[in-house]
Structure 1
Amino acid sequence: MKQTTMGFRLVLLVSMATVVMCNLKIASFNIKWLSVNKVANNNTITIIKRVLQRYDIISLIEVREDHAIHNLVQSLNMDNKDNPYGVLVSKKLGRSVHYTESYAVLYRMNSVFVQEVYQHPDHADVFAREPYTVLFHSLDSRPANFLYIVLHTQPTDTPAELDHMVSAYDNITNEMGIQNAIIAGDLNADCRYLSHTRHDHSLLFTDSRFTWLIDSDVDTTVSTSSDCAYDRFIVAGDVKNSVVPNSARVYNFQLDMNLTYNETIAVSDHFPIEMELSS
């Protein structure tokens, strides 16, 4: 009996030693009008899938058709049968009947669990596309529980929407009972939509609870004629202490995959932004 117990302990220790904790890879990508036609293009969807496969969690912005995102995830999972993706899709957002979009959040089901989803109730209509929040439980990172909040600001209202994001964060965290958060998305937080002066006086920037990770001198756009840090990560709570140093950056898939400009712009006019949480 003693030998059996010792043998069991040895197997357990060996098994524990073989567990490799990995950093959690997180991204956000304004994918520019994701439609069924876009997903049906073989070259474009191949590039998109190569981008998505880099991450454990990624938000997609400007999802125009629900069928498009579900077709994309189905195709993605054909290549990832051992580590499939789940997807959450917000309601249609936007003030115009002629243009609406959804947020989609993809996540590796072997890496994180979805605990709750929350759509901020924008009763005063201060957001053109109100923030969409997912409460994740991570198997690989600390903090284990955190909010992933997606936002796509209206370019002409960017300063006001970023100011209102502070009270939206308070509403979301009070509702969900957790302060740890990553705010991610196309915030249009640069150039003509948010000057450096407006940025420096934004309530979301001056409030010490929040840390901006993508610097204003970074270019998140594909165009060679623009140099704007539209896409950002903003972290709060214990997430601040878990971000892997220098992991918050732009992923230039054009350079990495040796693509032409036309191949790249067919995917999007933005590059994804990415970051890692330590295990």
Structure 2
Amino acid sequence: MVEYSKKLRVILPLLYTYDFGAPVWRMRLDVAANRLAFEIRDADLLLADFHTLDLDNYKLDKLPLPAAKNWWLGLEDAFEGLLFLHGYGDRQVGQHKGIFAYDAATANLRWQQPELAFYGVTTNGILALNLQGQNLQLLQTKTGTIVAENVSLDNGAAAVANHNAVRSQACTYPMLYLEGEPYYNQVCDFLEHQLNVKPVKGIEYAETGQNIFTGFYTENAAGNLDNTLCVFNLDGELQLQERIATGLSGIGSDTFIIFNHKLYFIRQRNILVVYSLT
């Protein structure tokens, strides 16, 4: 068993927690609208729900969709106040088909393109895949109107990648270092010295101007993995330590994000937690 520090310090102010009651399957940040979007799925009951959180006031809104229909929908992205959901063409292989754009603030369906598949967000609009011709079409973000056809896959992939790079500048995502890599060893040595722990498999790492963030895994008595998130100041002093998941069969990525001086993560798969970093 891993011995954790008995002098646990929780210095960061806790701003918000919310228990969705079922696992958070996917989370997307809408930088332009200052919102988070969530896909919640209960595999036992075959139920899915979609929520958006206004990060200005922590008001949580749920899309009022029929429960029986939701299981065959999924969250693609959130952008400029819209929530983009997909349906399925071939449910056996999980092929995405259909784009449904909902207004995050009003929960109204703004537009839909049932025969296209969501490909990605670009500076000029939404790229969608024509499943028959296997070419891309550019859609106007607010209306879904087709404004360009026959966009090549190479050009489309580059446009989505470039726009994702611009979007990610407003948010800090952790880097994942795998066991055996040089940076992994450096962070592992730091954690062993500071916390007397022995991380395994992989470590997530991020820095801001004031803090160092690490998400690491340790093996428990049952042979599974536990995931712990820690925040240090630049002097190496522990500011926060939370075990955010237990009994895992493997490691993950992007288990936390930093946006507008706040730390966001999901605890035990279904609880959203927000801490202030100021």
Fold equivalence (TM over 0.5):
no
Choose between structure 1 and 2: higher helix proportion: 1
Choose between structure 1 and 2: higher strand proportion: 2
TM (norm. structure 1) is 0.30
